[in-house]
Structure 1
Amino acid sequence: MFESIEHALSSYVPQLIGQQRHFSVLIPIILIDQEPHLLYEVRSQNISQPGDTSFPGGAVEKGETFRQAAVRETMEELNLSRQSIKVLGELDYIATEQVLIRSFVAYLPHVAIEDIDVNEEVDQLFTIPLRYILQHEPVYHSLDLSIRHPQDFPFDQIPNGKQYPWRKAQHLIPFYELKDHFLWGYTASFTSQLSLFLKENQLF
């Protein structure tokens, strides 16, 4: 029996426990006056988190990979051809009980921001010089998360019942201080990770 379990585990791909929705984002880099900039979207009022800053991306559809989803969503949101997107590789990802978000860094050769014709999901575009991101760290603010139990929660099935010492949850949220735009949360996290990766590998 144990040999059979070992054999089955040898080809098993571990998954994060939970029912996460899968998302993928592209971190686009464009050149402006020969200087690399990160390209951001401001989400339109027609979709979730209106007015927020994000990278192009969205839900992974059945039958496609995370990378394919990131490219497809970018093509749709920015009305770009596949040839306009050169994926450089995958960066870090975010995983919670609710979502799994993977990120891919890409260069958009021969793309000028003023020529991009966004779709209805995007209100506007803006860029931040990559040099600025490398020189400025995000500021982290904490958010205390409270625990609420429904009336039918089975306290009788856990030690000490209602006096069980639940761990207090605290969520650290990164914020970049920008003059005219918002940059916080997951998008700020991906931005910070790219900056950290470039610094650690002395690539800029």
Structure 2
Amino acid sequence: MLIPILEGKNDLCLLYEIRSENLKNQPNEICFPGGRIEKGESKENAAIRETAEELLIATESIEVIGASDILVTPFNTIIYPYIGTVKDYKGTFNNEVKEVFTVPLSFFLSNDPFCHYIDVNVQPKEDFPYDLIQRGKDYKWAKGRYPVYFYIFGDRVIWGITARITYDFIKNIR
């Protein structure tokens, strides 16, 4: 996954995609370019490849600056964000993308996201081997809270994992 930085008119900007409404997972949601790592491919090369494919640009126009914070979600997903610049981008994108837009970096530097929490609870399946653990079915499973961040930029709501990755990136450059 790449956090794409573009030169705007007066400021550096982050580029976001709105996923196509025809996609099975998260249609119409705001995201950064990215996707699965192919066999034998490095995480960084996957970020470059996916960005080039989704934005219809040459891989040579992407320069990776470095890695951002790895994100491990409670939803069996690990995300490896990379930060990179995209040169001479002309607004192109493929059929996985409905639209692209940019947000000035200065917006994020002067506006913190708001945060809500969702509860994360352990729910063992019926066939869980309770007889093998202390206290069996009376075992007290830990509960957690997962932060869900929101940025509102005009009529755009950047939220969830995309907002979390944005927040972590901005926190690190402040």
* Structure 2 match to 1:52: 29
* Structure 2 match to 1:41: 17
1:92 aligns with 2:69: yes
> Which among 119, 124, 138 is matched to residue 149 of structure 1?
124
* Structure 2 match to 1:169: 144
How far residue 73 of structure 1 moved from its aligned partner, in angstroms, is: 0.4
**Distance in 1 between residues matched to 2:167 and 2:124, nearest whole Å:** 35
**Distance in 1 between residues matched to 2:87 and 2:133, nearest whole Å:** 58
1:138 aligns with 2:113: yes
1:79 aligns with 2:56: yes
Q: Which runs of 4+ in 1 moved over 3 A?
A: none
Aligned residue type for 1:119: N
**Distance in 1 between residues matched to 2:66 and 2:124, nearest whole Å:** 43
Give the length in aligned residue pairs.
172
How far residue 69 of structure 1 moved from its aligned partner, in angstroms, is: 0.3
Deviates more, 1:86-95 or 1:56-65: 86-95
Larger Cα-atom Rg: 1
Aligned residue type for 2:102: T
How far residue 100 of structure 1 moved from its aligned partner, in angstroms, is: 1.9
Bigger fraction of residues in strand: 2
Give secondary structure in 2 for the equivalent of 1:60: coil
Aligned residue type for 1:33: K
* Structure 2 match to 1:186: 161
What is the RMSD computed on CA atoms of the aligned residues? Answer: 1.5
How far residue 96 of structure 1 moved from its aligned partner, in angstroms, is: 4.2
Q: With structure 2 as the length reference, what TM-score do the two structures score?
A: 0.92
How far residue 169 of structure 1 moved from its aligned partner, in angstroms, is: 2.2
- Kindly indicate whether the alpha-carbon contact (under 8 Å) linking 2:43 and 2:80 is maintained by their aligned counterparts in 1: yes
- Kindly indicate whether the alpha-carbon contact (under 8 Å) linking 1:52 and 1:182 is maintained by their aligned counterparts in 2: no
* Structure 2 match to 1:105: 83
Unpaired runs of 5+ in structure 2? none
Q: Kindly tell me: are residues 181 and 62 of structure 1, through their superposed partners in 2, closer, same or farther at Cα, counting changes over 3 Å?
A: same
Q: Kindly tell me: are residues 82 and 149 of structure 1, through their superposed partners in 2, closer, same or farther at Cα, counting changes over 3 Å?
A: closer
**Distance in 2 between residues matched to 1:151 and 1:94, nearest whole Å:** 30
Deviates more, 1:169-178 or 1:128-137: 169-178
Identity %: 38
Q: Tell me the alpha carbon deviations over residues 171-199 of structure 1, each in whole angstroms, 9 at most, x when there is no partner.
A: 11111123312211111111111111111
Q: With structure 1 as the length reference, what TM-score do the two structures score?
A: 0.79
